Structure formats: structure tokens, C-alpha cells
């Protein structure tokens, strides 16, 4: 994650004095709300507006970054930790080419 991007998001929030509203609970709710708006881009059809998808995906990312910052989490670190767990749960020899949940492999 580029620090420049994180700084831009933090400055946007600080300039508007919105930190007071950015509790972990509120940010988690906002992530789900924005993810639902992203899903709405694909509702009823496989046709979608790439521009609309980009905007909604960016909203999800922004709230995720806000939450990570609020909780003092290193984004790259938590992603790499999770990827390691995923590798253990989904070994290539069992998971390759399958969409099966790890508990069923």
C-alpha cells in the first residue's frame, strides 16, 4: 500500500473533522454498506458499468484503510499474514481448480 494513498485518505478525513465518526464499529458498518453498493453494480445482469464498479470498490478500500489506520494495523502485514493462512488452508495439491471451501477439501 502506498503511503501517499494512505496520507490522502487520512487528510481527507482530518480536513473534514470526521475522525469523531470513524469508530471501528462505524467503519465496519460502512465497509459492509459500500460492499453492498458494489454488489448492486452486478444485480440482475452480467452487464455493468466499469466506472461505477471502480467508484464503489474505491469506497470499500477507503473504509478498509480507515479501519486499519484506526486500529493501528499495518495493511501489508495483515494481508501477508492472511495469505499465509490461506496457503495453509488451501494447499495447491488439494485446491487447484476447485472452488470448494477448505473444510471440504
CATH topology of domain 1-73: Helix Hairpins (1.10.287)
Q: Where are the domains of the chain?
A: 1-73, 75-105
Q: How do the residues of the chain divide into helix, strand and coil, expressed in percent and rounded to 5?
A: 70, 0, 30
> pLDDT at position 1, please?
83
Residue-averaged pLDDT of the chain: 96
The 10s digit of each residue's pLDDT in 51-101 is: 999 999 999 999 999 999 999 999 999 999 999 999 999 999 999 999 999
The 10s digit of each residue's pLDDT in 26-48 is: 999 999 999 999 999 999 999 99
Please tell me what DSSP assigns to residue 53.
H
CA distances from 3 to 55, 65, 71, 104 (A): 20, 11, 16, 39
This prediction has a pTM of 0.90
CB 27 within 8 A of CB 9: no
Amino acid at each position: 500500500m502506498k503511503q501517499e494513498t494512505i496520507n490522502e485518505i487520512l487528510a481527507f478525513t482530518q480536513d473534514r473533522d470526521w475522525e469523531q465518526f470513524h469508530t471501528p464499529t462505524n467503519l465496519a458498518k460502512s465497509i459492509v454498506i459500500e460492499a453492498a453498493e458494489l454488489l448492486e453494480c452486478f444485480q440482475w445482469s452480467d452487464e455493468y458499468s466499469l466506472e461505477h464498479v471502480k467508484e464503489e470498490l474505491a469506497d470499500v478500500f477507503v473504509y478498509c484503510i480507515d479501519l486499519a489506520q484506526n486500529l493501528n494495523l499495518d495493511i501489508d502485514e495483515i494481508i501477508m499474514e492472511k495469505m499465509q493462512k490461506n496457503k495453509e488452508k488451501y494447499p495447491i495439491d488439494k485446491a487447484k481448480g476447485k472452488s470448494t471451501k477448505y473444510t471440504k477439501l
